[in-house]
A and B are shown apart, each in its own frame.
Chain A
Amino acid sequence: MPTADGNELDDLLRRCARQDASALQALYAHAAPLLLAVLVRMLGTRAAAEDALQDAFIRIWQQAGQFDRIKGRAMAWMVAIARNRAIDLQRARRPTVLLDAAELAAAEQLRVEGPAENVEFDAAHAALRRCLELLGGAQRQCLLLAYQRGLTQERIALAIGQPLGTVKSWVRRGLQSLRACMES
């Protein structure tokens, strides 16, 4: 990921709010490859992810005026828009996502590499990784399948062959522990 300054992205969003299409193009150049990576992982196919990417940028354009200008949150805001689009699309289609054993194992692994030479990101990522590693394997797997693959708790239960109630309690305890760890 190119390491554009957060303020620069905030500024581009402000220009989008004033209907400056060149600012959206600059945001696209910076953020589209990352958002597409998120969407491919959530939607499973390149074609669906590309369509969702297009929808996400149209929303970014239309909703830029509502962007809450908390300094440096532009990327978090855009990722949320893309994720929400993917979640809507997933909920609208039939549950066809079946994960194989390798994918399930991968959900327990944490990617360690981040954007090169981005100290701020490295610190945030290291903290999250450390806290996720402190969770039990099953809790971590549930949280990652939900966040990265966009699976509902019902689909997670199907995918890992556990009762829904068990998955729900793993998710709840996992989130509690994660918050406690990241706030400490």
Chain B
Amino acid sequence: MNYERPELLDRLAAEYVLGLLRYGARARFERLCGERPPALAARQRWEDRLLPLSLALAPVTPDAGRWSQIERAIDATSAGGAAPRPPAAARRWWPLALAAGLLAIAVLVGRLTFWSEPAWQPVALLAPANAAPLWRVERSADAAQIKIRTLAPVTLGAAQSYELWVLPSGGGNPVSLGLLPRQGGLERRLTPTQRSLLLAARQVAVSVEPAGGSPTGLPTGPVVIVAPIARAT
């Protein structure tokens, strides 16, 4: 097909935006948009032209528990490690959704009642030997969440990740607290086990792992940082 003809490109773009292209043609047009700016521009013009038809619909409020499900999913899919998304059937399991919704409301009410912002307490500054800190780790007052910020550019091959571990006081295997971000920051909810280990532990550690995190659940690569946990004052 001759994509140089503007009227043809425009027709393809319109049919793409309307959703009329078949699967193969649809994928081809998406690739074309990545390669050819005029295709992307034609597509965006049609998206913009038809957008008022979407914006004019009466809004529908999502179920109360939906946001917490999205939050859990992005925790799992972004820097949080290799945990797969639950299948749609599981996501549609309504008692779970209802419970999550009630929990979200309870948490929200709790927050509104007692503190408007979670009070973050220092956990550790993660610095390689003789170098400036790369990450700051904080936790919420109840240790149900941790917050991680990168403090300096983090360099590591694309096939590797840095993983954060809590070293249980009194020995025992390290327990993962998830991957460390390469840039920016993130907040992550802890499981009850992670939470109680973190509250009792004296040290955290960072290891280099394959992209996506340790395949075994224990550190497999070199441990590059061991840092003391700040005690709550």
Contact A19 B57 (CB under 8 A): no
Known: A20-B184, A79-B47, A124-B52. A147 touches B18 (CB 8 A): yes
**In chain A between 102 and 136, which residues have their CB closer than 8 angstroms to a CB of chain B?**
111-115, 121, 124-125, 128-129
Q: In this assembly, does A12 line the interface, its C-beta being within 8 Å of a C-beta of chain B?
A: no
Asked whether any CB of chain B lies closer than 8 Å to the CB of A13, the reply is: no
Which secondary structure dominates where chain A touches chain B? helix
Knowing A19-B78, A146-B20 touch, does A76 contact B70 (C-beta < 8 A)? no
Which of B17, B18, B23, B69 has most chain A Cβ within 10 Å? Answer: B18
Q: Check A18 for interface membership: any CB of B closer than 8 A.
A: yes
Partner of A54, one of B49, B55, B70: B70
Residue A179 interfacial (CB < 8 Å): yes
Q: How far is the CB of A142 from chain B (nearest CB, A)?
A: 9
Q: Does B48 contact A (CB under 8 A)?
A: yes
Contact B66 A114 (CB under 8 A): no
Interface SS of B by simple majority: helix
Please pick, from A38, A49, A62, the residue contacting B77 in the complex, using a CB distance under 8 A: A62
Min C-beta distance of A183 to chain B, whole Å: 9
Number of residues of chain A lying within 8 A (CB) of chain B: 64
Interface centre among A19, A37, A62, A172 (most CB of B within 10 A): A19
Distance A36 CA – B54 CA, assembled complex (angstroms): 10
Q: Which residues of B contact A (CB under 8 A)?
A: 10-11, 14-15, 17-20, 23, 26, 40, 44, 47-63, 66-67, 69-71, 73-75, 77-79, 85, 88, 91-92, 181, 183-187
